[in-house]
Amino acid sequence: MRRFVLDSNAIDPIADIPGAYEVTRKAIDDNKIELLITHVNIDEIAAVPDLERRSSLLLILCDLGKLVPTGAAVLDYSRLNFCRLHDDEEATEALRSGNIDHTRDALIAVTAEVEDCTLVTNERRLTNRARDRGIEVLTTQELLAELGFHPG
């Protein structure tokens, strides 16, 4: 089984592309993949202002993903009982590139590192920072292609 940690923006194409959700759900049901999510994903999607969009994304995220603690803890960002203490503070700092605004992304990426999973994100900056740390990264489109799904 191949395991992935989802960045929050990775769920949008699964929600928006007809057939993508069904292919992803089937891959999970067939034990081909496991999608891991963190409280950060839920927090970010819960902040989507459009109620209908927020509800849809949260339902899909929680249906497809397995909730795991973040790979590190950061004061004012991490939720108790949903994070791990991590003795490598440099990992989180490297993933956020010294920019406090990137802390949530760093927590998701360090989770992929700690879980030894592929990170799925559609954000170029996070992709580059994660690859610099040796984390395998795919876009949602690349994940769907691995599942044999090619929207047309």
Q: Quote the tokens at residue 113.
A: 């590192």
Choose between 77 and 118: higher pLDDT.
118
Fold of 2-146: Rossmann fold (3.40.50)
Pick the range with the lowest mean pLDDT from 61-65, 86-90, 122-126, 128-132: 86-90
**Residue 63 pLDDT > 90:** yes
| Average pLDDT value for the chain | 85
**Residue 33 pLDDT > 50:** yes
> Is 149 within 8 Å of 131 (Cβ atoms)?
no
- Rounded Cα gap, residues 63 and 46, in angstroms: 15
The domain segmentation of the chain, as residue ranges, is 2-146
pLDDT band at residue 126 using 50, 70 and 90 as cut-offs: confident
Quickly tell me which residue has 């004061």 as its tokens. 75
Non-local (6+) Cβ contacts of 120 within 8 A are: 4, 5, 6, 7, 10, 35, 137, 138, 139, 140, 143
